[in-house]
Amino acid sequence: MTPLIFIVIVTVVLCLLIYWVLNTIKQDNKKTFSARSLYFESASELAINSPHEFYLAQNAIKIQRCEGEFGLVFWNLSRTKWESICAEQGISPDMKRIVLRVNEAAEHFNYSDMWVRTIVGQCRFHLQPETAYYVTLGIKHRKRFIPIFTSNTIMRQF
């Protein structure tokens, strides 16, 4: 009778051990994620593309985050739009007047002008934490800034 009790106890212990191992294997495959740990956008127009993959339609400007703490601006101004805006303002269509104005909105509003001198191009700049950025492509003529296009707004992610 004693060997029979021993065999039953060993069998129960082995069954419990197998059940425990199989149960822990199933739980390891089930990884749970909280919604806060997923930082992504599902809209294709919000995706961050490399400069080689990016297409921008004529007469448009777009700003996006790249490499964490940098912003990348793309603009594409058609020659006919450029000439018509210059004609409306009474300015000669000189490429030296094309300016990219980077606007920073944090505790105070600041802007910086960059002379880009081209109607199609891209520019990269450093983003500061807790600051919103948007860019305006325009014409600078005698201390006067004439905006043509304004981009979307971005912020640096931490």
* Rounded CA separation 136/148 (Å): 7
In Å, how far from its chain's centre is CA 125? 13
Helices H / strands E in the chain, number of each: 2, 8
Q: Are residues 82 and 12 in the same domain?
A: no
Q: Are residues 45 and 106 in the same domain?
A: yes
**0.75 surpassed by pTM:** no
The stretch 39-59 carries a mean pLDDT of: 56
Ramachandran region of residue 90, left (φ > 0), alpha (ψ -120 to 50) or beta?
A: left
pLDDT in tens, 89-108: 999 888 888 999 999 988 88
| CATH number where 61 lies | 2.60.40.10
Contacting residues for 70 by C-beta, under 8 A, at least 6 apart = 124, 125, 126, 127
What is the total count of domains within the chain? 2
Q: Are residues 21 and 69 in the same domain?
A: no
Q: Which domain holds residue 19?
A: 2-32
